[in-house]
Amino acid sequence: MAQDHIRVRGARTNNLRGADVDIPKRRLTVLSGVSGSGKSSLAFDTVAAESQRLLNATYPAFVQNLLPHLPRPDVDTLEGLSASIVVDQAPMGANPRSTVGTATDAWSLLRQLYATHGSPPVPGPHALSFNAAAGMCPDCEGTGRHAALDVDAVIDRSRSLNEAGRTPSS
- How many Cβ atoms sit within 10 Å of the Cβ of residue 10? 14
Q: Is the per-residue pLDDT at 131 higher than 60?
A: no
125: phi > 0 → left, psi -120 to 50 → alpha, else beta; which?
alpha
Position 170 confidence tier, pLDDT thresholds 50, 70, 90: very low
Q: Is the per-residue pLDDT at 161 higher than 70?
A: no
Write the CA distances from 110 to 28, 76, 100, 115, integer angstroms.
22, 39, 12, 8
Written as one letter, the residue type at 8 is: V
3-state secondary structure of 116: helix
Domain that holds residue 121: 100-131
Q: What is the pLDDT of residues 13-26, one digit of tens each?
A: 998 999 999 999 88
Mode of pairing for the β-strands spanning 77-79 and 19-24: unpaired
Q: What is the pLDDT of residues 81-102, one digit of tens each?
A: 987 777 766 666 667 677 777 7
Phi and psi at 102, nearest 5°, equal: -75, -35
Q: What is the pLDDT of residues 68-77, one digit of tens each?
A: 888 899 999 9
In a shared domain, residues 106 and 68: no
Written as one letter, the residue type at 101 is: G
Least confident of 15-24, 104-113, 132-141, 160-169: 160-169
161 assigned to some structural domain? no
What pLDDT is recorded for position 139? 75
In a shared domain, residues 10 and 63: yes
H helices of the chain, in order, are 39-40, 49-56, 61-64, 100-103, 106-117, 151-154
89 assigned to some structural domain? no
What pLDDT is recorded for position 99? 73
Q: What is the pLDDT of residues 34-67, one digit of tens each?
A: 988 999 999 999 999 999 888 888 889 988 888 8
Total structural domains within the chain: 2
In a shared domain, residues 121 and 57: no
Please state, for a pLDDT cut of 90, what percent of the chain lies above it. 23
38 assigned to some structural domain? yes
What mean pLDDT is predicted for residues 123-146?
Answer: 65
